[in-house]
Amino acid sequence: MISVKAPGKLFIAGEYAVLEQNCPAVLVALNRYVFVTIKKSPNETGSIYSKQYSQDYLHWVRHGDKIIIDNRDNPFAFILSAIQYAEKYVHERGIRLAVYDLHVNSNLDSADGKKYGLGSSAAVTVATVKAILQFYQLPASRDLLFKIAAIAHYSVQQNGSLGDVAASVYGGWLAYQTFDKKWLQQELQVKDFIQVVTEAWPGLKIQSLTPPKGMQLLIGWTQKPASTSQLVDESNAQKAVLQYSYAKFLLNSRQCVLRMIAGFAKGDIKLIQKQIRVNRLILQKFGQLNHIAVEIPRLHQLIQIAEKHHGAAKTSGAGGGDCGIVIGSAATEVNALKQEWRANGILPLDFQVHPVQQTVVTESEN
């Protein structure tokens, strides 16, 4: 039996802008995982079982006499897509395909099944691709794993920067810039899959960041789940109308995140904190312009409490719920901050950073 795991993530800065090329984001991988095990089936029938997601519900809309299922919040859609694309790679390598049983387990969501918003769809996609490649004894570099998982994820969600997939593959703290999606679609139509996942992708940049000594990451969970894909759809709907202010938003976000990355390079916690605060304001304004609720009242409160206790705080990811993050230093009153969060219905999540992954094939454990 082969067992692999892939971590969840949090966005630290650069959200929404990172959907466009040449706009960096900072992310961090966390030590909460999706676990996948795979073994050869004893007979001709394979199985796919997902412990947490078996009783999930689906969203759908009516298009005339048709029911259209929104698969983007359905983890099974990501598992199936990951299998399909990983097998496409395996098949093109000339390997005979087999029948297997695949089990998915996760500690990315709370014990009662509520989503923290830590990127479970990305982690489940990465873990599944990883398991399939190991099952067929194919070595997988991080780049290969990222590319197969990114294609599988994008083909289900149809939007997203894929920064969450990168964090799950590479681990640690990352600066991430997305690739040219139109180019990729064209490549997939005209070239062999194997060629597409082994060539360089225009625009894609993934760089490990070293956190300064003494820098702390605190995570607060609002206990309110949010749908990233729906928020991204809503923000896209305004893009054409907001031409000038959208371009300005991209420019401001880019400048802010580049300064933050420089803060990592210099080991300057204060500079990172300053840019967290700048990015918070940029995202607040973006939410207002687009009429989307990024910093909802519970996140606003989370941030106010953190700032009161000398932490630099902002929403994480698409906002609208899920988590907020705080970059703290020695000056941050961590205990008092957490206590006040708890008193206000915000749960501190005591997760650690998942370390940088040098090689992926060594992840297997029995």
Tell me how far, at minimum, the Cβ of 226 lies from Mg ion, in Å: 5
Residue 149 interacting partner from ligand PMV, Mg ion, none (CB closer than 5 to 8 Å by kind): none
Three-state SS letters, the chain: CEEEEEEEEEEEECCCHHHCCCCCEEEEEEEEEEEEEEEECCCCCCEEEECCCCCCCCEEEEECCEEEEEHHHCHHHHHHHHHHHHHHHHHHCCCCCCCEEEEEEECCECCCCCECCCCHHHHHHHHHHHHHHHHCCCCCCHHHHHHHHHHHHHHHHCCCCCHHHHHHHHCCEEEEECCCHHHHHHHHHHCCHHHHHHCCCCCCEEEEECCCCCCEEEEEECCCCCCHHHHHHHHHHHCCCCHHHHHHHHHHHHHHHHHHHHHHHHCCHHHHHHHHHHHHHHHHHHHHHHCCCCCCHHHHHHHHHHHHCCCEEEECCCCCCCEEEEEECCCCCHHHHHHHHHHCCCEECCCCECCCCCCCHHHCEC
Does the footprint of ligand PMV cover residue 8 (CB under 6 A)?
no
Tell me how far, at minimum, the Cβ of 70 lies from ligand PMV, in Å: 16
Does the footprint of ligand PMV cover residue 286 (CB under 6 A)?
no
Closer residue to ligand PMV in complex, CB, 2/276? 276
Using CB atoms, what's the residue nearest to ligand PMV? 317
Taking CB under 6 A as the binding criterion, the range among 9-17, 31-39, 61-69, 261-269 that sits at the site for ligand PMV is 9-17
Interface residue with ligand PMV among 15, 20, 187, 340 (CB under 6 A) is 15
Interface residues for Mg ion in 108-147 (CB under 5 A)? 117
Closer residue to ligand PMV in complex, CB, 109/164? 164
Taking CB under 5 A as the binding criterion, the range among 153-161, 220-228, 265-273, 336-344 that sits at the site for Mg ion is 220-228
Interface residue with ligand PMV among 7, 160, 212, 220 (CB under 6 A) is 160
Q: What does the binding site for ligand PMV look like in residue numbers (CB under 6 A)? A: 11, 15-16, 18-19, 117, 119, 160-161, 163-164, 228, 232, 316-318, 322
Q: What does the binding site for Mg ion look like in residue numbers (CB under 5 A)? A: 117, 226, 228, 317-318, 322
